[in-house]
Chain A
């Protein structure tokens, strides 16, 4: 049982480069999310998707874009990476909107990104 798969698990890239973090789930969950996690801060929502074909902005969307062409895939793109985007990125999914009604979030293992 794979659950949620993220790739790459770790990446170092130069500032200004374009980068796409991949996320795939096999649970047929309708909702998917991208979070970043930084030391001393809570998980912060970047973008979300309630269902295939729709996306929405979270708390910290600037510099990031997403797409949801189908139920399973939810890639996150950094168009031109900056050092402040150095973080651990988690993709998550749930069977309900924003984890409501005990629709718990299932997380991928994370992608550690360093922008130099």
Chain B
């Protein structure tokens, strides 16, 4: 079956670094997305990885290892506004998005 696992909740301190992991098992693979979703709002796109390696975009970076079925989202210099849920999603062989349940990130002062 198809499955995406990510931690339910994480807590970090303002100014620190946090890594949110995502492991996946899908039928085929055509890329992995990370989305941010603030409470009560719509998800917004953060990153897309289709090749192995690290993609850096400002304070946020996303890493992919296709052989391990593993990705992580790295958030640096955490700010209070980074408190949100982070959703991992993969594109399977039929170009259907498979979503994880999301990781709720709590930032403390």
Q: Which residues of A contact B (CB under 8 A)?
A: 40-45, 58, 90, 97-100, 102, 104-110
Contact = CB atoms under 8 A, between A and B. Distances in A.
Contacts of A108: 42
27 contacts: A40-B8, A42-B4, A42-B87, A42-B100, A42-B102, A43-B43, A43-B87, A43-B89, A43-B97, A45-B96, A45-B97, A90-B42, A90-B43, A98-B97, A99-B95, A102-B31, A102-B48, A102-B50, A104-B33, A105-B35, A105-B43, A105-B45, A107-B44, A108-B42, A109-B42, A110-B41, A110-B42
Interface of B: 4, 8, 30-31, 33, 35, 41-45, 48, 50, 87, 89, 91, 94-102
Given A42-B4, A42-B87, A43-B87, A99 B97 contact: yes
Contacts of B50: 102
Contacts of B98: 42
User: Most chain-A Cβ atoms within 10 A of its Cβ — which of B4, B35, B43?
Assistant: B43
Contacts of A40: 8, 101
Contacts of A44: 99
Contacts of A109: 41-42
